[in-house]
Amino acid sequence: MTIPALLLFGIFFVGPSVYSIYYSLTDWVIGKDSVSFIGLENYRTIFGSDELTHAIYNTFLYAVIVVIGKNVNGLLLALAVNTRMKLKGYFRVIFFLPCVISTIIIGLVFVPVLHPNGILNAFLGNIGLGFLQQGWLVDTKIVMFSIAGVSIWQWSGYHMVIYLAGLQGIPDSYYEAAKIDGATAVQSFFGITFPMLAPAFNINMLLSLIGGLKVFSEPYALTNGGPGNASQVIALEVFSKFGRGQWGLGTALNVTLAIFISAISIPVLYFMRKREVEE
């Protein structure tokens, strides 16, 4: 079984990765008769371009927002549906339902909601909170937060399920012993629940981090990188470069994104596993 597995790994991962790295070092352009080796010129273009460095900044900003938002919201939802309340099964389904809908569809639904004259601003005005009305998708200062908010709304239910599995794996006897010792609900949470959720927390952190760094569908559906390039991210730039036939530069951007994801995810995974073992 080892040799076939290694063969498949080589065909579907190592081979394409090597080709990608090679073509990222070329001036590969559609319609050009030949491809020339140009070294690191594509990477100099990436980090020397204000537009591309802004896309990198937006990608990291988005990743930070969704990692925090999805995990906090997912944990709160898991705690809410892990009680003895009636209809909790229905609430679990309702919270998880957005995850099974296409992100593109979610984006198209939220465009009229977040329009300056849309549903959200109209609702805020009708309940006397007009001062909170914003140009959610047209204000360059908040557009990335708006896009991240849509993603958090869609995927919190997914992270809820993982946290819920962790919560249901904690023996009730731990809480009973803590109650006998006089521990409050807050003390039980930080002394029992939070440490015991370390595996679920690690999984959710890693999944939300990787998903945040390789984001494409949300900004594509909601703003297509606009207004201007205010919500442009790395994956959108890759899509744009390939669409224009700049395949060498697009491949270099793809390799850059892969390096970013690996450079951040591997140390984070190592740190979280080490902490999990220590606890």
Picking from 131, 121, 122, 142, the residue whose alpha carbon sits closest to that of residue 222 is 142
- Helix axes of 15-23 and 247-278: crossing angle, nearest 10 degrees: 130
Is the pLDDT score of 30 beyond 90? no
Q: Across-strand partners of 26? A: 37
207-264, pLDDT tens digit by residue? 999 999 999 999 999 999 999 899 999 999 999 999 999 999 999 999 999 999 999 8
How far is the C-alpha of 246 from the C-alpha of 260, rounded, in Å?
21
pTM over 0.75, yes/no? yes
| N- to C-terminal Cα separation, the chain | 36
Q: Quick check: 273 pLDDT over 80?
A: no
Question: What distance lies between CA 33 and its chain's CA centroid?
Answer: 39
Place of tokens 């099974």: 100
Whether 249 contacts 159, CB under 8 Å: no
- In the chain, DSSP assigns E strands to none
The domains found in the chain, sorted by start residue, are 42-278 (1.10.3720.10)
Model pLDDT, residue 276: 62
Could you please report the per-residue DSSP string of 147-195? Answer: HHHHHHHHHHHHHHHHHHHHHHTS-HHHHHHHHHTT--HHHHIIIIIHH
Q: Is the dihedral of CA 151, 154, 159, 160 positive or negative?
A: positive
Q: In this predicted structure, what is the pLDDT of residue 277?
A: 58
What are the tens digits of pLDDT across the range 178-210?
999 888 989 999 999 998 998 899 999 999 999
